[in-house]
Chains A and B, each alone.
Chain A
Amino acid sequence: MSITNLLNNWSFYRQKRPYQGQYDLNRQYSEYKWAMALDLDICTGCNACTTACYAENNLPVVGKKRFNQGHVMHWIRIERYWDENMGEFPEQGASFLPMMCQQCEEAPCETVCPVGATSHTNDGLNSQNYHRCVGSRYCSVNCPYKVRYFNFWNYPSTAWPAPLPDQLNPDVTVRTKGIMEKCTFCVQRLNEAKSRARTEYRLVRDGEVVPACVQACPTSAITFGNIVDPKSKVAMMWKNQQVDLYKDMQEKDNSVRGYRILEDLRPFPSVMYLERVRDMEA
């Protein structure tokens, strides 16, 4: 963002985001907005997504000691909660919650980064620029979901004893010490699909590209797609669940399951969760 650019487009940069119509199929550079819908009722908590993410995104295995220190790097983690009013036994089972970067539209992490290493892309992703990051970790402090992971160690030198480096995905940077990283919605896959589509004078088709977690999920609990395209499955699901990307709080019917986590903080997340269902009569 040069000063000239800033001055010439002052009103654009001063626009509060997200605004109605920010993403539009007819607008160049805004025809994509990647979003997710995650059904907690059919998520079984099996961790296949986590392992797929390790494989796709070159996540280091940190080992027991560092895991204990809180240095684990799982971009997507499965949280297991017990019910608060649980009696002697968890009679309704556990609640599993896959938590990854929510790619907030008004991301708390973006405003606080002193060097602008994390910023919004045109297709609605919360990007992390590893080369720009100086490692102040302010973004992690301000992330309400705590899904940003900091490279506390120089993992490239320890986490992959030979020949494990042969497995590393060449499309994804291996991060060095001192920088922040997080779920990217597998941006390397998205970019590849976008440029492939561009060479064919079309937009990316629904289902043409999915992140590794979505691809692996045995129950297909995660749906991914371009929410700008009203015919995409994810857009239809959001609409059906009465969750509006541009609204901070949804006003929905009781029977509707869609919600976004910590909406009250107004980060406008791009991941919609569908409530867990339990048969209370059982």
Chain B
Amino acid sequence: MGRVREGRVLKMEGNPESKISGGKICGLGQAAVQVQYNPDRLTQPMMRVGDSLQPVSWDKAMALLEEKTGPKSGINGNEFAFMTGAMSGHLKVLVQNYLDSLGSKNHFVYEALSPAVSFAANKQIYGVDMPRLHFDKAKLILSFGSDFLGTGASPVHFAKEYAKFRKAPRGTLIQIEPKMTMTGANADRWIPIIPGTEGVLALGVANQLLKHDDFSKTVPADIVNLVGKYDLDTVSSITSVRSDLIGHLAGLLWEKSPSLVISGASVEGHVHGVQNAAAIQILNRILGNVGKTVDGQAQSPFPQLAPATGSFASLKAMNDGMGAGTYKAVFIYGANPVFTTPSFMGFRDNLRKVPFKVAFVNAVDETAEECDLVLPIYTAVEDFGSHVAWYQPEGVEITMQQPLMDKLYSDTRSMGDIMLDLVKQRRADEYKAWPNFFSYLKTAVTNIKPAVKYTDTDEHFWYDTLSHGVIHVDAPQQQIAENFSTEMLDLPTTVNSPDPKFPFYLIPSERHYFRDGRHANCGWLQESPDPLTTVVWDSWAEIHPKTAASMGIHEGDYLEVSSQNGTIKVKAYLFPGIHPDAISIPLGQGHESLGRFAKGVGVNPFKILNPVFEKNTGELAMFGTRVSVKRTGQSEIVVKDEGPVSTQMGRKLVVTLPADVAQLSKEI
């Protein structure tokens, strides 16, 4: 939703009818208008001439497209690849159809921060990608690195759920993670842990619980046996979590039932990520939370619209294909792999080997810089579309996107229109009924009508849908299984042992407004202080004050952070909410392109990630990189909102009340 005045969209708002957002909106959503009016938006098609991109007319651009990929070009399906970011809805269908028309199966969906490991673990255990989580029903949430308030599936939705969880009877949130996230900052208890050992800790807690008969009955004996080897001392020495805390956690889980145990990116981004997640999920099983707080999502009746969330495996496949010279043409939409891939992959060089590369963008990013044809498309507020989120709390919700204003630049085009034109290159007859994407979408959406038991005319249904902005489809709940096996849980007790050459664990943290960096060119987001460090317009390395003191590092000192794969120079920020053996650098900055607000700001830690992969899924283990840290001797002030002190200095600004004193139930 947005506010429009004189044909200009001014401000974005949440749709109150959405079950996901409930009318609320995060800063990213707000910033959509800054994408729309971005001074660095691409306003006309660009074509590579020599080393640079030159403006070109649409006719010429489309002619070139026809020449290189049209029916006469003789390109076969295997020689063509289409990379997109996560996508859902009818545009995804159209992309698939285009690939079908080419006879190609090469739709590579790539998201740098995809939930693929989490999905894989859930699939193994529950038989679904993502179970539905009932925050409001839980009395205790034990979160292993899940930053549900800041990043992940739907921060706005989970924040809403979190608010319910915090109302009387107030639930307790315990967060265990190597670097404090926004969720950790809101936890009743925050426990630092050596990165990657969360699974071991979970098994340690499980071990304590299983000592009790009530719980040991719930899981097969072989699992009880396996868990038995994770005794307090072992677990404590591996995870660096005090042994009394492990018992304490087990006690709390016992006391506060039903509870909910969840895991997040920092757990899953390791070699044994799936195992970690499984070890954490076994707690839900032991505590009997499955069916109470962990449930199935609705089964979508429209699998073709369901979101494709992307994986590293598909990136790798495409990268290998490009490296081998398989592809003659590559389309890229909604992804910026040149920026988000680690340098060891050599993605940029491989991309250059492809003879014809096309990017569909709002602004020229690092990937588009490498392409031969860059086509400017509508922004989200100019275009029609439909979306399906991958976390659906109630039923299935299809979100409708419709233009809030006329196109700002006459030389931009709808992505849907372009795709439709491309499909028509080969299937003109099948698609002749639809002159544009709007008509296609209208027909397609109207087809949903029976599923929602709408009785009025098609036309009414269409306008009703548009005016509400969402279609709710009641769908049966998925049944979830509970498959735990000893192989899944058998975590080696040597996980993540220290490396003397690279003594620090690198945590490439996801900033809630930057994600993988695609939104970096919005002034609002650059100037919005990071919630925990309050740093703006920059990258920084979070390092624990104790470690910093031992190394003689002060705030603002430039550090050389080196992995086997490269070095980045970044300012230090002394941050108490991080494990002393870890160093955290936020993702999303360090652009070489994209626009004036992003270019040259900060550093890009994606580049120095090591080739460490999750062993079950082959996903890149984002948190598996070890680094060494060296002072450079240079220093510069860290630009942040925080003043010289970080406490309240004895003033009564934020007052903390113990939960047992507060009487939330008497409040309004």
Contact = CB atoms under 8 A, between A and B. Distances in A.
The answer to whether any beta carbons of A and B sit under 8 Å apart in the complex is yes
Contact of A255 (B25, B156, B524, B663): B663
A218 B159 contact: yes
B233 interface: no
Given A44-B149, A94-B185, A233 B648 contact: no
Nearest to A235: B668
B523 interface: yes
Given A52-B30, A54-B524, A63-B537, A92 B188 contact: yes
A183 interface: no
A167 B30 contact: no
A96 B658 contact: no
B524 A61 contact: yes
Contact of B668 (A93, A170, A218, A233): A233
A225 B170 CA distance: 25
B524 A51 contact: yes
B178 to A, nearest CB: 11
Given A54-B524, A88-B576, A255 B529 contact: no
Contact of B191 (A56, A77, A91, A161): A91
A91 B37 contact: no
Interface string A60-86: 011110011000101001111111101
Contacts of B10: 55, 167-170
B7 to A, nearest CB: 10
A95 B532 contact: no
Given A219-B160, A219-B163, A44 B537 contact: no
Contact of B651 (A93, A262, A280): A262
A20 to B, nearest CB: 23
Interface string A204-232: 00000000100111111100000000000
Interface string A270-282: 0001111111111
A212 B657 CA distance: 29
A96 B639 contact: no
A45 to B, nearest CB: 4
Interface stretch (A112-120, A193-201, A236-244): A236-244
Interface in B59-79: none
Contact of B37 (A52, A90, A92, A167): A167
Contacts of B12: 55
B527 A220 contact: no
A47 B656 contact: no
Nearest to A47: B528
B523 A81 contact: no
B465 interface: no
A212 B11 contact: yes
B11 A169 contact: yes
Given A91-B190, A236-B668, A279-B189, A44 B182 contact: yes
B537 A67 contact: yes
A46 B24 contact: no
B352 to A, nearest CB: 32
A254 interface: yes
Contacts of B175: 93
B356 to A, nearest CB: 32
Contact of B524 (A55, A92, A162, A276): A55
Contacts of A254: 661
A259 interface: yes
Nearest to B661: A255
Residue of A64, A72, A94, A95 with most chain B CB atoms under a 10 A cut-off: A94
Given A46-B531, A80-B531, A95 B656 contact: yes
Contact of A51 (B21, B30, B172): B30
B655 A164 contact: no
Given A42-B163, A164-B37, A47 B531 contact: yes
Interface in B134-179: 149-150, 155-156, 159-160, 162-163, 166-167, 170, 172, 174-175
A276 B661 contact: no
Contacts of A161: 39, 596
Contacts of A277: 166, 170, 656-659, 662, 664
A89 B245 CA distance: 14
Contacts of A61: 523-524, 526-527, 597
Contact of A47 (B162, B191, B529): B529
B369 interface: no
Contacts of A169: 5, 10-11
A92 B189 contact: yes
Contacts of A52: 11, 25, 27, 30
Contacts of A187: none
A216 B25 contact: yes
Contacts of A83: 647, 656
Given A46-B27, A46-B531, A52-B30, A276 B656 contact: yes
A240 B668 contact: yes
Interface residues of B, number: 98
Contacts of A233: 668
Given A93-B184, A275-B655, A55 B647 contact: no
Nearest to A165: B37
Nearest to A63: B537
Contacts of A79: 641-642, 653
A171 to B, nearest CB: 8
Given A275-B655, A276-B656, A67 B186 contact: no
B548 interface: no
Nearest to B157: A218
A123 interface: no
B534 A80 contact: yes
Nearest to B639: A68
B666 interface: yes
A193 to B, nearest CB: 14
B607 to A, nearest CB: 22
Interface string B632-668: 0000010101100011111111111111111110111
A89 to B, nearest CB: 5
B660 A93 contact: no
Given A64-B639, A78-B531, A278-B659, A51 B190 contact: no
B53 interface: no
A262 B163 CA distance: 27
B525 A276 contact: no
A165 B34 CA distance: 10
A68 B655 contact: no
Contact of A259 (B408, B641, B652): B652
A206 B129 CA distance: 42
Nearest to A168: B10
B244 to A, nearest CB: 14
Nearest to B642: A80
18 contacts: A44-B183, A45-B185, A46-B512, A47-B513, A48-B26, A55-B12, A55-B33, A61-B524, A67-B639, A79-B641, A84-B650, A89-B577, A95-B648, A95-B654, A166-B408, A167-B36, A262-B651, A281-B660
Interface of A: 40-42, 44-48, 50-52, 54-56, 61-64, 67-68, 72, 74, 77-84, 86, 88-97, 159, 161-170, 212, 215-221, 233, 236-237, 240-241, 254-257, 259, 261-262, 273-282
Interface of B: 5-6, 8-14, 21, 23-27, 30-31, 33-34, 36-39, 149-150, 155-156, 159-160, 162-163, 166-167, 170, 172, 174-175, 180, 182-192, 252, 408, 512-513, 523-529, 531-532, 534, 536-538, 546, 576-577, 596-597, 601, 637, 639, 641-642, 646-664, 666-668
Given A40-B654, A90-B185, 13 more contacts: A74-B641, A77-B529, A78-B529, A93-B188, A94-B577, A96-B186, A163-B37, A167-B9, A259-B655, A261-B653, A262-B651, A262-B652, A280-B658
